[in-house]
Amino acid sequence: METDLYEEDHELFRETVREYVVREVLPHLERWDRDHLIDRSAWLAAGKQGLLGLAVPETYGGAGQQDYRFRAVLAEEFVAVGAAALHSGFSLNEDVVLPYLLDLATPGQKERWLPGLTTGRTIAAIAMTEPGAGSDLRGIRTSAVRDGDDWVVNGAKTFITNGIQSDLVIVVARTDERDLTLFLVERDTPGFTRGRKLEKVGLHAQDTAELFFDDVRVPAENLLGTEGRAFAHLMERLPRERLSIAVTAQAAAEAMLRWTTDFVREREAFGRSIAEFQTVGHTLAELRTETEVGRAYVDKAVRALNAGQLSAVDAAKAKWWTSEMQNRIAARCLQLHGGYGYMLEYPIARAFLDARVQTIYGGTTEIMKEIISRDIVGGSRA
């Protein structure tokens, strides 16, 4: 489906991204999967190409570009070659961590950390999830207690994207019985350690880890935002994170459909292309319709974000619909590949595995539906 979302500048940027992918990504994808880790050189090369820190003001070395369509171009080009794991790491920096620093950091904090996010020298993470606390942040037990000019942090986090390589981690900690606060914890801070590199179903190249905090002393100047306001800070920025997942899901669905359409046109059975069989043709018709409907909503959501009008409810709709659609399309496209779809040398197999987490992180499908249903039940009657 043709989309009118992009303009000439976005397509020129797309060419830059494609050059980066050919040179810095494709030669390394299989090794990254085996190592469960992406080379830091990939981050540094992306920084040199101007692919990181797009929204960072020029004062700190960024492009000062607030147009989210450039981020969407990156998502499309990465998943198109099966590099969803790399995109996951980049997206964590760009769509999750960076907005916190841009909106909440002090001038000193920005001066210290924003330049590294644009060059790729600083890899960031956010540590919310704990062994006993996932979607419900009220279950967070990691604590921070004020001691002179420091805060002393104790606790454990899990399922942390970029957990192994991160140089800077936004940690959500409980500062009293009711309130949560955000802290910036740096690599090599005494008492801050990383656990095992977690084995996942998909996104194998993207490092995910456990983090431990044992009497970690965090300087008071590393408190991010307002003390006790972490929950509000988190809620305010979730729409962008969820749209990021939706954009990725949409791009992945479209890529899988392209691969599958090409495959069934070339593959023959009983003397003809399997695309000519009615059951296959009808399946492709269904999948194309689903992706085009998804594309229309995602494009609308991207425009709303650019205009500062994307609501938490509409972001939740985009996230749950597209991520569930991505998984449906992954399963059906793999089926159309037959035995080849089960082979990891085919991109559909990797995409099938990578898709599964999309309905879980950033808020599960069930949580998205709860957000939407509360808006319906609590809203005015039509």
Assess contact for 68 and 305: CB atoms under 8 A.
yes
* Token representation of residue 141: 């037990």
Determine the 3-state secondary structure of 7 from DSSP.
Answer: coil
In a shared domain, residues 237 and 373: yes
In a shared domain, residues 172 and 218: yes
In a shared domain, residues 39 and 93: yes
In a shared domain, residues 130 and 51: no
CB atoms within 10 A of CB 178: 9
pLDDT at site 163 = 92
CATH number for the domain including 372? 1.20.140.10
CATH number for the domain including 170? 2.40.110.10
Average pLDDT of every residue of the chain: 93
In a shared domain, residues 242 and 109: no
pLDDT digits (tens, 9 = 90+) for 234-265: 889 889 999 999 999 999 999 999 999 999 99
Q: Which of 122, 157, 178 is the last residue of a domain?
A: 122
1 is a domain residue? no
3 is a domain residue? no
In a shared domain, residues 106 and 52: yes
Work out the average pLDDT over 321-330.
98
Q: How far, rounded to the nearest angstrom, does the alpha carbon of residue 345 sit from its chain's CA centroid?
A: 24
Residue type present at position 133: A
In a shared domain, residues 274 and 333: yes
In a shared domain, residues 362 and 339: yes
- CA-wise closest residue to 344 among 17, 25, 30: 30
pLDDT digits (tens, 9 = 90+) for 196-226: 889 999 999 999 999 999 999 999 999 999 9
Q: Over 80: is that where the pLDDT of 135 sits?
A: no
Q: Which of 90, 122, 154 is the last residue of a domain?
A: 122
55 is a domain residue? yes
pLDDT digits (tens, 9 = 90+) for 93-112: 999 999 999 999 999 999 99
In a shared domain, residues 158 and 199: yes
Work out the average pLDDT over 354-378.
94
In a shared domain, residues 28 and 130: no
C-alpha span between 295 and 327 (Å, rounded): 16
* Residue in 77, 241, 254, 290 annotated catalytic: 241
CATH number for the domain including 67? 1.10.540.10
The pLDDT confidence band at residue 190, using thresholds 50, 70 and 90, is: very high
In a shared domain, residues 31 and 110: yes
The pLDDT confidence band at residue 267, using thresholds 50, 70 and 90, is: confident
C-alpha span between 195 and 212 (Å, rounded): 7
Q: Which of 200, 226, 252 is the last residue of a domain?
A: 226
2 is a domain residue? no
| Domain count along the chain | 3
The pLDDT confidence band at residue 368, using thresholds 50, 70 and 90, is: very high
Domain that holds residue 89: 8-122
Q: Over 60: is that where the pLDDT of 380 sits?
A: no
In a shared domain, residues 73 and 14: yes
C-alpha span between 139 and 180 (Å, rounded): 11
- CA-wise closest residue to 158 among 144, 146, 172: 172
pLDDT at site 379 = 62
* Angstrom distances, CA of residue 169 to CA of 56, 225, 290, 325, 378: 18, 14, 38, 32, 36
7 noted as active-site residue: no
